[in-house]
Amino acid sequence: MSAVTRERTTEHGQEVTISCRDGVLLRGHLWHAEGAVLGSVIVNPATGVQARYYHRYARFLAGHGFDVLTYDYRGIGLSRPERLRGCGYRWRDWGERDFDAAVRFMRARAAHEPRQRPLNVVGHSIGGFLPGMAESAVHVDRILTAGAQYAWWPDYAPRRRLGLFLKWHVAMPAATALYGYFPGRRFGWLEDLPAGVAHEWTFRGSRFERSHPRRERASAVARMAAVTAPILAVSVTDDEFCTLPAIRRTLRYYSGAAREAVMLAPQDYGRETIGHFSLFHDSHADGFWADTLHWLKEGRNPWLHRRIDL
């Protein structure tokens, strides 16, 4: 059962601790909705990005009627152990155990309410792929993803593919072998990563389940297919990771869900560039952030003019 520890409230929201089924404790923050509560949102970070990057977006959503949970995956940010070397954490643990615990946490909070309000997920990059790994994902009502994919290198944008391959599939495993974890901070490449996470990224093939033991592959795919929450997948034309092939590869696994995808252009928001990370910067509050409310509140795609075929 998911344990909830309520701690002091700060400018970053109410600090909370979430207990995973295997006993690992995650740290996060909870923002309470201002005014009438429309539902709740779990924000899943990208790989190597601390949850604090999404705090301003969480406050924005709280100001529009949502209870919002941000949290750090095991091995990252506030959920980093004292010793990262040898901790054994994997990418799949972030979905099967961490996101699963986040869903149970939010459902436990709402158990006393007279009616069950919608539980939504906003997933950035790997955070949009992880929900289908969790048994509890069947309780999610709506999913919005931004740049969601699992970084199979042939899906990278052709103009950047060689450089990204050398960075993440040559330099990263070499550094991980040397240090026993990936020292991302030392290189200025996102946060430090557990070795298991770095290895799954580096050596992932065209089918994510092949990084699982053979006997577990069918059940991993079945969990993805069991998700019925409608999905709106967002990318932008200058995202070097989340290309059209990457979007399609990701959404194929969610075969039990209604799926839509859009490819935005930086010019849609008066920008020259957006890339893989900047949609959650607060400079997008009046643009992208406001548009996400249409999906989270009503299930309405605000970017129909940018819809792409799957």
The pLDDT value recorded for residue 299 is 96
The pLDDT value recorded for residue 110 is 82
- Cα distance between residue 92 and residue 126, in whole Å: 10
pLDDT in tens, 158-212: 999 999 999 999 999 999 999 999 999 999 999 999 999 999 999 999 999 998 8
pLDDT in tens, 85-101: 989 899 999 999 999 99
- The segments of the chain whose pLDDT lies below 50 read 1-10
CA distances from 266 to 46, 47, 205, 275 (A): 20, 23, 30, 8
The 3-class secondary structure across 216-241, one letter per residue, is HHHHHHHHHHHCCCCEEEEEECCCCC
Contact 119, 141 (CB under 8 A): yes
Cβ contacts of residue 283 below 8 Å, gap of 6+?
none
Contact 206, 56 (CB under 8 A): no
DSSP 268-293: GGT-S--TTTGGGSGGGIIIIIHHHH
The pLDDT value recorded for residue 216 is 93
Burial 3-27 (b: 16+ CB within 10 A, else e): eeeeeeeeeebebbbbbbeeebebb
The pLDDT value recorded for residue 305 is 94
Whether this model's pTM surpasses 0.85: yes
The pLDDT value recorded for residue 109 is 87
- Cα distance between residue 160 and residue 173, in whole Å: 19
Cβ contacts of residue 109 below 8 Å, gap of 6+?
4, 40, 67
The pLDDT value recorded for residue 12 is 66
Residue 49 burial (10 A CB sphere; 0-12, 13-18, 19+): buried
The pLDDT value recorded for residue 278 is 95
The pLDDT value recorded for residue 8 is 42
**CA proximity to 16, closest of 84, 104, 90:** 104
The pLDDT value recorded for residue 2 is 39
